[in-house]
Structure 1
Amino acid sequence: MTTRKYKELVEERTRETLQKWSEQSVVEEKDIYRFLHNLKGTSGTVGLDAVEAFSGNALLYFSDDNHRSWTEAEWGDYIYPLLELFEEPKPVGALPPLTPGISLSHGNVHQQYEILIVDDDVELVAFLRESLERESYYVSIALSAGRGLKLFYETKPDLILLDILLPDRSGIDVLKQIIGKAKKERIPIIIISGEHSIEVQKYAYSLGVMDYIQKPVDIDLFLVLIKNRFELKKEWQKSIIVDELTGAFNRKYFNQTMKQLIADFRRTGRTFSLALLDLDLFKQINDTYGHLMGDEVLQSFSELVKQSIRTEDTFCRYGGEEFALFMPNTPAAQALLVMERIQEVFAAREFEGKRESFHVTFSCGVTEVTQEAPDADTLVEEADLALYASKHNGRNQSTLYSQELLLGQRETLLNVIIVDDDPLIRRIVTTHFAAWQPGTTARVKVASYADGAIFLESDWYAPEEKYIILLDGVMPGLDGLEVLEKIRSSYPELNILVIMLTGRNNQRDIIHALQMGADDYVIKPFHLPELLTRIERLAHRFLF
């Protein structure tokens, strides 16, 4: 559906609403407020900038919690002038059209650096996020030390901006906890603080921070500094081929090795096998025994694999708890036997954490280069498909890729749910997400609800599926924050990501949502490409 069509729908709905009100003796103030609130978000999203500005100004005269009744003579003075705005020329380009079948796979955004901001100054955080995202960085926000640590370990950001004064713990304590891992992962940490003491700055530098920025922030200087640090980080990455935590080769070396082995196969016909290995239920290990124990498991696993393979084999850390093993001159059936032997040894290894012993296993998928699949993307896809089959069939096993696996093509069901009382917003979002293709790992199912209570009472949740919930902050009946609270208190957080959609300027609502477990927020009006990019980033955490 074109942007022009959406504009026409907004105008049609507006005229219908005002016609309905004109036939009533009075209109409740809260209904006027919600109408203007929704109109502001929707009109801005579809490019009706004048209508958005008018609605925002008119909102100042009404309240969501006022029970006053307005006659047409009273509300008409405020509302009727907006009808003229639909007759003016509308600016174009506010909502770039998306074509049906668009594929926003993670490959489209992999060059976007991710920055984690840990700071409870929400006005500053919002300003920094907006400024950084204009420069094509992706920004995650944590308003407390606890949330910051969680995001650090789960998302592995490319750079961290850390305040010293946080509501639950000192930023210095956070720094001490993460600096060792950040150095190994080469994640720069920049302190951004109102604390100007020379002693504090010296201490922060002695612990290993890269920079110390004093508040208030000169945004132009700040952005140049961030760009400079990422250029430096890029140079680091070019010179490094070994993952320091595990001792395995890194993703860069994986790409180099893949390229060399494929070139050799095309030239000489020498075969090789690729195995993808993924530790089972690794997040539970981190959550139960702590991230230091998780690092110990990764190191132990890597050491075992390196001891078990030949000199000509190449073992790489592919990402997180996923690894890759190249075995030159080795057919897939033989490679499968190697992996099964390693699995048996590793499963018997005993770890100690919190005064109890536990065991860890891994799953594996194996494939072999062939004339039908002589390229890197196909090989990785085949090994990944076999890995998924191992996970799906009970974990702690290795699976050899075959054509039969394609018949039962793995499809993680990703549910995109929009909960918003604005029917046009629901229609826009569901239309575009119905065409979303987040890679080969997921099938997307889109659902929408006009009311938070109806959503919660529906049979929406299945433990084996994954969810991205777009939740409006202001709705009749249950408020969006109340719905968020019920989601986080009643369902496991692991497979549910929540993005708050808010038109509110009240920063306390944003703070509250993030503290209650929202993964991100988007302020209405939003542009759909921006929303899609945000959702893809979040989905990447548990799809790939």
Structure 2
Amino acid sequence: MTTRKYKELVEQRTRQTLQKWSEQPTVEERDIYRFLHNLKGTSGTVGLDAVEAFSGNSLLYFSDDNLRSWTEAEWGDYLYPLLELFDEPEITGAVPPQVPGIALSHGSIHQQYEILIIDDDVELVAFLRESLEKQSYYVSIALSAERGFKIFYESKPDLILLDILLPDRSGIDVLNQIIGKAKKERIPIMIISGEHSKDIQKYAYSLGVMDYIQKPVDIGLFLVLIKNRFELKKEWQKSIIVDELTGAFNRKYFNQTMKQLTSDFRRTSRTFSLALLDLDHFKHVNDTYGHLVGDEVLQTFSELVRQSIRVEDTFCRYGGEEFALFMPNTSAESALLVIERIQEKFASREFLAKRESFHVSFSCGITEISEQQQETDKLIDEADQALYSSKYSGRNQTTLYSEGLLTGRRETILNVIIVDDDPLIRRIISGNFAAWKPGNMAEVKVNSFADGALFLNSEWYVPEEKYIILLDGVMPGLDGLEVLEKIRSNYPEVNILVIMLTGRTDQRDIIHALQMGADDYVIKPFYLPELLTRIERLAHRFLF
């Protein structure tokens, strides 16, 4: 049934493309080449063998570099025979969902690894995403190089699938820009392309690509290969304890150190303090000056801290721009003095980029092990609460944990907004998210609107709050794409995440939405547990 669905989507896109071209005076040759190139890879992957063969043969008559314009009389002789190769649509019985647009399932979906696909062939991408997520991987999608860069630098995926032909830049350009950082972060890159040139394959391998997969994709072999690569990645992670970008110890070593120091305290009562340190407004640094400058800030910060601590102290990169410092034989009050000296030094450090200088600070939270509190998870939670207290109080400061610390704090509010013209969908989604409370969000508000105009005119936005918007792609009046465009044009992206809701055959909405800045999409009918899982993953971007 899944294969049939994607065959129908490929046929639909082919007919739509040829219909659109028939209404134009001419079509550029490179557009025809790209169309056939994508069609060849996708059709072979989903089992349309005749279409794959026809597309491959037709490619010989067109070039990606030729700027010639073709009239319908010219290109029609080559392309219209395609339509005869598609099977007649198969009528299949489907189990009706329990409510329109929503299907319920038992249990949550747990993704272990995140895969980033950078490819503009939306049918193939959708097919790969569905196949991969059935294997419990989480999949992010970029239909352009620019979007791929953004997701790569912000989410640090565990593996990247990259096409050679992209609408805005070549895949080789993308590869050249990210391969160095991907190697440091031990992120495997796999080329997946219909371009079979041995020279390009050799060049990709010489840059550091792990695999070069030719389209059409054998999905069974592909899934086994992905599993194999993640097994290898797991072995890499076991073998290292140092974060290569910053020189600090990594999260694995953090866990080992916490376990060791806690066990030591239980045997000898040897105390220690734990400090969590988080760079302030680090996303702004990346957005304003670029991720290479952001890496420089991280490296400078790590070097300064490591130069300022004792040999017996342990400094770790906890995740992203968050770090941890273990200080054995040190009370929380003494640790406070150490951290405040480091804060003063780092805040005075000048960074230069784009012909201007800027400064970066960090916030910190500290806790101390005690007879009353020896559980590792609770110690981390205490330091975390103290850290967020520093953030809420204005940043660039350090807070010692104490009971009742966050009482009366300024609340961070997360708004979940459903914009959908189906009242049943609004009611069911609202009911399921009413009791949801993600970490470090003091309050979750759920609201819904029947159409885009009502939503945009509701004065919904408050600058201090965060938003996850579930936006239906097709609505009367303003459709979802128009609403998305107004959101991205008029409001800061840092505070707003958008998930598009779309029908199974509405692939155009998916393409446009991702290009216009949607963070994810969910196809109707969808499973509520899967939707919650996706929202929880995206909500992590809001944690400081």
Q: TM-score, normalised by structure 1?
A: 0.80
For residues 172 and 275 of structure 1, the distance between their equivalents in structure 2, rounded to whole angstroms, comes to 42
Question: CA shift at 1:517, angstroms?
Answer: 0.7
Question: CA shift at 1:412, angstroms?
Answer: 2.2
SS at match of 1:470: strand
Structure 1 runs of 4+ off > 2 angstroms? 408-412, 439-443
For residues 252 and 144 of structure 1, the distance between their equivalents in structure 2, rounded to whole angstroms, comes to 34
Question: CA shift at 1:506, angstroms?
Answer: 3.2
| 1:162 alignment partner AA | L
Question: CA shift at 1:280, angstroms?
Answer: 0.9
Judge conservation of contact 2:112–2:137 (CA < 8 Å) in 1: yes
Aligned to 1:346: 346
Aligned to 1:245: 245
SS at match of 2:445: strand
For residues 501 and 216 of structure 1, the distance between their equivalents in structure 2, rounded to whole angstroms, comes to 28
Judge conservation of contact 1:414–1:443 (CA < 8 Å) in 2: yes
Aligned to 2:148: 148
For residues 160 and 365 of structure 1, the distance between their equivalents in structure 2, rounded to whole angstroms, comes to 35
Aligned to 2:200: 200
Aligned to 1:284: 284
Structure 2 counterparts to residues 11-410 of structure 1, below 5 A? 95-96=104-105, 109=110, 112-408=112-408
After superposition, the C-alpha distances for 1:399-426 in whole angstroms (9 at most, x for unaligned) are: 1111231323664211111011111101
Judge conservation of contact 2:389–2:406 (CA < 8 Å) in 1: no
Aligned to 1:533: 533
After superposition, the C-alpha distances for 1:43-62 in whole angstroms (9 at most, x for unaligned) are: xxxxxxxxxxxxxxxxxxxx
Aligned to 2:35: none
Judge conservation of contact 1:191–1:209 (CA < 8 Å) in 2: yes
For residues 404 and 529 of structure 1, the distance between their equivalents in structure 2, rounded to whole angstroms, comes to 33
After superposition, the C-alpha distances for 1:21-63 in whole angstroms (9 at most, x for unaligned) are: xxxxxxxxxxxxxxxxxxxxxxxxxxxxxxxxxxxxxxxxxxx
Aligned to 2:66: none
| 2:524 alignment partner AA | K
| 2:216 alignment partner AA | P
Aligned to 1:507: 507
SS at match of 2:116: strand
Judge conservation of contact 1:410–1:441 (CA < 8 Å) in 2: no
Of 128-137 and 500-509, more deviation after overlay is shown by 500-509
**What CA RMSD, in Å, does the superposition of the two structures yield over aligned residues?**
1.9
| 2:263 alignment partner AA | A
For residues 224 and 442 of structure 2, the distance between their equivalents in structure 1, rounded to whole angstroms, comes to 38
| 2:448 alignment partner AA | S
For residues 138 and 400 of structure 1, the distance between their equivalents in structure 2, rounded to whole angstroms, comes to 37
After superposition, the C-alpha distances for 1:433-465 in whole angstroms (9 at most, x for unaligned) are: 012132344421111111111111112111111
Q: Give the direction of change, closer, same or farther, for the CA distance of 1:141–1:89 in structure 2 (3 Å limit).
A: closer
SS at match of 2:406: helix
After superposition, the C-alpha distances for 1:379-405 in whole angstroms (9 at most, x for unaligned) are: 111111111111111111111111231
Judge conservation of contact 1:274–1:326 (CA < 8 Å) in 2: yes
Of 280-289 and 331-340, more deviation after overlay is shown by 280-289
Judge conservation of contact 2:389–2:409 (CA < 8 Å) in 1: no
Q: Give the direction of change, closer, same or farther, for the CA distance of 1:442–1:97 in structure 2 (3 Å limit).
A: farther
Question: CA shift at 1:518, angstroms?
Answer: 0.7
Aligned to 1:6: none
After superposition, the C-alpha distances for 1:463-482 in whole angstroms (9 at most, x for unaligned) are: 11111100111111111111
For residues 89 and 143 of structure 1, the distance between their equivalents in structure 2, rounded to whole angstroms, comes to 33
Gaps of at least 5 residues in structure 1 are 1-84, 99-103
After superposition, the C-alpha distances for 1:89-109 in whole angstroms (9 at most, x for unaligned) are: 99xx951368xxxxx9xxx95
For residues 188 and 176 of structure 1, the distance between their equivalents in structure 2, rounded to whole angstroms, comes to 14
| 2:140 alignment partner AA | S
For residues 344 and 249 of structure 1, the distance between their equivalents in structure 2, rounded to whole angstroms, comes to 23
Structure 2 counterparts to residues 407-486 of structure 1, below 5 A? 407-408=407-408, 411-486=411-486
Judge conservation of contact 2:452–2:479 (CA < 8 Å) in 1: yes
| 1:200 alignment partner AA | I
For residues 256 and 539 of structure 1, the distance between their equivalents in structure 2, rounded to whole angstroms, comes to 28
Gaps of at least 5 residues in structure 2 are 1-94
After superposition, the C-alpha distances for 1:68-117 in whole angstroms (9 at most, x for unaligned) are: xxxxxxxxxxxxxxxxx99x999xx951368xxxxx9xxx95x6100000
Judge conservation of contact 1:179–1:207 (CA < 8 Å) in 2: yes
Q: TM-score, normalised by structure 2?
A: 0.80
Aligned to 1:495: 495
| 2:123 alignment partner AA | E
| 2:256 alignment partner AA | Q
Aligned to 2:65: none
For residues 164 and 97 of structure 1, the distance between their equivalents in structure 2, rounded to whole angstroms, comes to 39
Q: Give the direction of change, closer, same or farther, for the CA distance of 1:299–1:368 in structure 2 (3 Å limit).
A: same
For residues 529 and 404 of structure 2, the distance between their equivalents in structure 1, rounded to whole angstroms, comes to 37
Question: CA shift at 1:543, angstroms?
Answer: 2.4
For residues 373 and 188 of structure 2, the distance between their equivalents in structure 1, rounded to whole angstroms, comes to 39
Aligned to 1:19: none
Judge conservation of contact 1:162–1:191 (CA < 8 Å) in 2: yes
Question: CA shift at 1:503, angstroms?
Answer: 1.1
